[in-house]
């Protein structure tokens, strides 16, 4: 409940509507007045979602996993949360499809010696303001760049609210900071090992760097593509895997609300063409009735 995020509801709700999910339930923590924030309600109305419950955190995850007198049991829960909500989804993964692990927020700004220190400083702070448990890293092989960026961050901090300033200062002394490497290639190796949620490529030739990035939830290229754009207006879905899970998970899309069934059919001629091969597998694996079903079939 650290803020109101109508953009998150849009990025979750719109793919679900496009996928024709028959029942969409929203759980969201109430504000200090015990109400759902107006911006959340407006987004829900635009999307066409009408079932909203004022509950967040681990109790919201448990409610949709098991069902309560008020909240229906659901098949799947998708969306970001703090470290407790993310842990709850993993603990209850046997009861509900917990989707991709999303939260707390992460960013890596990958920069070289040609990067603009002002833009690097501004973008480095973006995810750090999400909360004290977020992670914001500047990864570069240029010590000179770091020496220019840090004073700029300190100057920019004076322009923001005390709440967000505290989040950033906490972040940059705990999970965030600078990773100074020996080369751009070493920086890229670090990125691929860390597998960040968001990453910005602020190198001299970002499109040359792009093919080398193997693990990242979102890759933003160049000086004019801050996370801000992708969070709100650019198009890529900003509900992304965190905690290194970008190695195996992807961003939220319509595909997260769809499933597949395998369908098979064999004609009589087709069956005759493959029955002997199936029988061999059955014999090797020791399944007698599997073998009989093809061997004795007339």
Distant-in-sequence contacts of 82-86, Cβ < 8 A, 24+ apart: 82/2, 82/57, 82/131, 82/133, 83/133, 84/57, 84/58, 85/56, 85/57, 85/58, 85/60, 85/61, 86/242, 86/243
Mean pLDDT value of segment 225-247 = 93
For residues 243, 248, 253, 256, the Cα torsion angle rounded to the nearest 10 degrees is -100
Band of the pLDDT at 130, cuts 50, 70, 90? confident
* CA torsion through residues 9, 11, 13, 14, sign: positive
**Which single residue is written with the structure tokens 């509507």?**
17
Catalytic one of 106, 129, 197, 200? 197
Cα–Cα distance list, 267 to 10, 20, 264, 271, 289 (Å): 46, 34, 10, 6, 21
Pairing verdict, β 135-140 and 106-111? parallel
Lowest-pLDDT range, 35-44, 55-64, 100-109, 257-266?
Answer: 100-109
Q: Is 202 exposed, middle or buried, given 0-12, 13-18 or 19+ CB atoms closer than 10 A? A: buried
| Active site annotation includes 198 | yes
**Which single residue is written with the structure tokens 């066409």?**
48
Q: What is the pLDDT of residues 171-208, one digit of tens each?
A: 888 999 999 999 999 999 999 999 999 999 999 999 99
Q: How many angstroms separate the first and last alpha carbons of the chain?
A: 66
| Active site annotation includes 197 | yes
Q: With contact defined as beta carbons under 8 Å apart, do 240 and 218 qualify?
A: yes
Does pLDDT of 1 surpass 70? no
Q: Which residues contact 117 (CB under 8 A, 6 or more apart)?
A: 145, 148, 149, 152
Q: What is the pLDDT of residues 59-82, one digit of tens each?
A: 999 999 999 999 999 999 999 888
Residue 133, token pair as written in the block = 């448990």
Lowest-pLDDT range, 3-7, 193-197, 267-271?
Answer: 3-7
pLDDT at 3: 75
Sketch out the chain's domains with CATH numbers. 6-91 (3.40.50.1980), 106-255 (3.40.50.1980), 261-298 (no CATH)
Catalytic one of 127, 130, 198, 218? 198
Mean pLDDT value of segment 206-221 = 97
Q: With contact defined as beta carbons under 8 Å apart, do 254 and 15 qualify?
A: yes
Residue 156, token pair as written in the block = 């920019």
Q: With contact defined as beta carbons under 8 Å apart, do 124 and 153 qualify?
A: yes
């Amino acid at each position: 409940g650290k803020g109101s995020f109508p953009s998150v509801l849009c990025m979750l709700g719109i793919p679900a509507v496009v996928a024709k999910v028959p029942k969409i339930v929203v759980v969201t923590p109430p504000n200090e007045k015990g109400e759902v924030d107006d911006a959340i309600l407006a987004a829900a109305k635009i999307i066409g979602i009408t079932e909203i419950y004022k509950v967040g955190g681990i109790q919201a995850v448990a409610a949709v996993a098991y069902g309560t007198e008020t909240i229906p049991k659901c098949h799947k829960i998708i969306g970001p949360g703090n470290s407790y909500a993310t842990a709850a989804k993993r603990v209850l993964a046997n009861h509900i499809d917990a989707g991709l692990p999303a939260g707390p927020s992460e960013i890596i700004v990958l920069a070289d010696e040609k990067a603009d220190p002002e833009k690097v400083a501004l973008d480095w702070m973006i995810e750090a303001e999400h909360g004290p448990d977020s992670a914001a890293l500047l990864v570069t092989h240029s010590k000179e760049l770091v020496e220019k960026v840090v004073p700029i961050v300190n100057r920019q901090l004076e322009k923001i609210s005390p709440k967000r300033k505290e989040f950033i200062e906490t972040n940059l002394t705990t999970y965030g900071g600078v990773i100074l490497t020996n080369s751009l290639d070493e920086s890229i190796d670090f990125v691929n090992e860390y597998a960040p949620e968001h990453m910005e490529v602020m190198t001299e030739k970002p499109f040359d760097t792009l093919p080398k990035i193997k693990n990242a939830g979102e890759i933003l290229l160049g000086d004019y593509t801050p996370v801000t754009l992708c969070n709100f207006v650019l198009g890529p879905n900003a509900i992304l895997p965190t905690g290194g899970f970008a190695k195996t998970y992807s961003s939220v899309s319509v595909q997260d609300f769809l499933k597949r069934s395998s369908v098979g059919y064999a004609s009589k001629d087709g069956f005759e063409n493959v029955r002997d091969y199936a029988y061999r597998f059955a014999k090797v694996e020791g399944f007698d009735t599997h073998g009989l079903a093809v061997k004795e079939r007339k």
